Amino acid sequence: AAFASEIAMACGIEMLCPAYRLAPEHPFPAGLNDVAKVLSALTDTTRLPIILSGDSAGGGLAASLAFLATAGGYALTGLVLLSPWLDLTVTSSCYEDNAASDPLFSKQSASEAANLYLQGVDPRDPLVSPLVAPLRGLPPTFIAFGSGEVLLDDSRRLARALEQAGVAFRLLEVAGMDHVAITRNRSLPGADTVFGAITGFVDELVGAI
């Protein structure tokens, strides 16, 4: 909430933080269905530009929602992803390579969380792991992550896929920044850098309309 408020004030925009059902009590696709309903209600009631955002697992959810919106013919204004978790197969070598530099997220915790969320659903489903979804038509996308994160590869792979799909994007890799530092405390290393980049990206998108 504090992060959302700071972005709203800095950019002069409205922020909506929807509550959605969580696993394990409500596994996939409950949460995605909930945020899709919120987006549908927004598109029915406003003509304002809509930018989706999410961090960590919420970043994957935001990317999946953007894919659904695009497939449904709705043109979002932008997408902001912060250390997004985009591949629930948990097979990236970064889980081992960056284990010592990422105290907040491990391969074991990722595997446990994926199992609780999926409960038998194939992790290669594009609505679960949006890295394998068709990305053409997605809105301009901003991606930020720390260079020591176990999810580093998710962001880099998304950037390559967006480039191949002809989608405009910005990729910000910050040395020494912990997983989703910006949403936890602006005083953490790298958080201010990401905050400035986000506000600049949002201002540019909204100002172009």
pLDDT in tens, 87-102: 999 999 999 999 999 9
Report d(CA 127, CA 145) in Å as an integer. Answer: 22
Using an 8 Å Cβ cutoff, are 59 and 83 in contact?
A: yes
From 53, 83, 129, 149, the catalytic residue: 149
> What are the residue ranges in the chain where pLDDT is below 70?
none
Residues contacting residue 62 through CB under 8 Å, at least 6 positions apart: 35, 52, 53, 54, 79, 80, 81, 84
Instruction: Give pairs for 13-21: CB < 8 Å, separation 24+.
Output: 13/202, 13/206, 14/48, 16/42, 20/61
Using an 8 Å Cβ cutoff, are 129 and 92 in contact?
A: no
pLDDT computed for residue 1 by the predictor: 86
pLDDT computed for residue 104 by the predictor: 87
- Is 163 marked active-site? no
Report d(CA 165, CA 82) in Å as an integer. Answer: 20
User: Pairing between strand 51-55 and 141-146?
Assistant: unpaired
- Is 6 marked active-site? no
pLDDT computed for residue 208 by the predictor: 74
Report d(CA 107, CA 124) in Å as an integer. Answer: 17
pLDDT computed for residue 10 by the predictor: 96
